[in-house]
Structure 1
Amino acid sequence: MKSPLAGLSKFDFFGVLLLRIGVGAVLAFHGYPILTGGGSVWTDVGKGAAIASLPPSFFEYAGLASGILQFIGGILLIIGMFTRGTALLLSIVVGFAIANLIAAGSFQLGFLAHLQMILALLGLVFIGPGRLSLDRKGI
């Protein structure tokens, strides 16, 4: 017997679009306050991704880079531009966040949310932008 949902496979491109928009919106929404937060926020975010022997200015730059990547990368995912490269860079940023949570011994909801985000981003690296994107060849 054929599944009643089997006909939805004709619309697989729409699933990729929803994935891109959802992940991109969450990352842009999370990155905007970091980007606009200023030096103290950048330092707080950057300290988690850095080694203690590095100069203090590195922490600020690492936090700023994280905010820029999350905000701009989220927007790029939404519109479907440079999808694979953007998803790969964002998965590295989320990977640093996961490493910080593991180092802190925090395996609560934040850890699970980051784990889900990195899995979705790595999925986009392999799936690609889908049919409804600016990355699509042959437009």
Structure 2
Amino acid sequence: MGLVTDKSSDPSESAQPKSSASGAPTPVPPASSTGKPVTSPFDSPTQQISTSKNVPRTDDDLGLDPDDVPSAKSGAAGTPATAAVGATDSTSSGSKSDTGGQYSYASIPPAAATTSSTATLQRRTRETRRGTLDFGLLILRLVIGGTFIYHGLQKLAGWFHGPGIDGTKAMMEGGGWDYPSLSAALLIAGELGGGILLVLGLATPLAAGALLSTILGAWMWKQGMLPGFQYNMATKTGTEYESVLSGVLVAILFTGPGRLSIDRARGWATRPGWGSVLILVLAVAAAIATYLFLHGGNPLQGIGPFDAKTT
């Protein structure tokens, strides 16, 4: 039988350093003020954390209900997925938001849907590189608008060897217009006012429409002077000049004045829409109505080879 030795209960004896196998005394950790030995968290991290802190390990400890938290599949299917990213709010450990039973602190809002206005803005942002297009439209406006200003000043003030306002009235009366004063006023206002607005790029659709109506009236007047298709520029009744100006004005209606204009902040400056078609129709209708009211007759009678008996 072996000898059983009772461990001494004397604290002074247990505090004595013990000797190791080599004979050197083993150090004893110093005691704290409470009488317990002072240890480091690095000696046994698991033991220190488990004994010093109450670490939650399950959903019940966190106060979460697994049935109320959507899975990753439901988030991929279109519903906002949620995840436990922290502890519950300060009022109650299991409190939920009023929106669908999801946790307010863990809700991930869905991405905002792209609207048509957002898509349009993104498309316009990518279209910042227009090259020399705006500069070319500026030159076109200066040339066409300047031409109409030139003719308007001839008829109004007699500049540039023009007839002046009295000569314009006499010309309108001799050309078969019933109300020469009104006809001259409309002609001068259309050429001078529309030309200035076109050069500035201000209210460009209205300016181009007014000029188009004015030049179409001149086209019908010259076309109706003689039977046959009056296009040859070599004759006094040739409509080649009026035809070219009309085509350029229609082009400006559908291209806009460009960004080098006062209208640069308007939609019609760079992206004209169906409003251009409406103004084109109104301009043609106004020209026809004005010609029928102030002059009368059918300017298309006997055009070209369609009626050989009149040639």
Match of 1:136 in 2: 264
Distance 1:30 1:130 in 2: 25
Match of 1:28 in 2: 149
Distance 1:104 1:70 in 2: 22
Structure 1 position 45 matched with structure 2 position 172: yes
Match of 2:248 in 1: 120
Q: Secondary structure at the match of 1:131?
A: coil
Distance 1:63 1:21 in 2: 24
Structure 1 position 15 matched with structure 2 position 139: no
TM-score with structure 1 setting the length: 0.79
Q: Secondary structure at the match of 2:143?
A: helix
CA contact (8 A) 1:43 1:63 kept: no
Unaligned runs of 5+ in 2: 1-129, 158-163, 267-311
Match of 2:231 in 1: 107
Report the residue type matching 2:171 in the other structure. Answer: D
Flag the structure with more relative contact order, 1 or 2, with Cα contacts below 8 A and sequence separation at least 6: 1
Structure 1 position 42, deviation (Å): 2.6
Report the residue type matching 1:125 in the other structure. Answer: L
Structure 1 position 43, deviation (Å): 4.1
CA contact (8 A) 2:169 2:181 kept: yes
RMSD value over aligned CA atoms? Answer: 2.0
Structure 1 position 122, deviation (Å): 1.1
Unaligned runs of 5+ in 1: 1-8
Structure 1 position 48, deviation (Å): 4.4
CA shift in 2, pair 1:74/1:94, >3 Å: same
Structure 1 position 116, deviation (Å): 0.4
CA contact (8 A) 1:34 1:42 kept: no
Structure 1 position 46, deviation (Å): 6.3
CA shift in 2, pair 1:107/1:80, >3 Å: same
1:46-99 alpha-carbon deviations (Å, 9 max, x no partner): 66484xxx4xxx221111221122112111111111111111111011001110
CA contact (8 A) 1:98 1:115 kept: yes
Distance 2:261 2:142 in 1: 11
Q: Between Structure 1 and Structure 2, which shows a larger proportion of helix residues?
A: 1
Q: Secondary structure at the match of 1:38?
A: helix
CA shift in 2, pair 1:82/1:48, >3 Å: farther
CA contact (8 A) 1:46 1:63 kept: no
Give the % identical residues: 26
TM-score with structure 2 setting the length: 0.37
Q: How many pairs are equivalent?
A: 124
Structure ID, larger Rg:
2
Q: Secondary structure at the match of 1:14?
A: helix
Structure 1 position 107, deviation (Å): 2.6
CA contact (8 A) 2:197 2:203 kept: yes
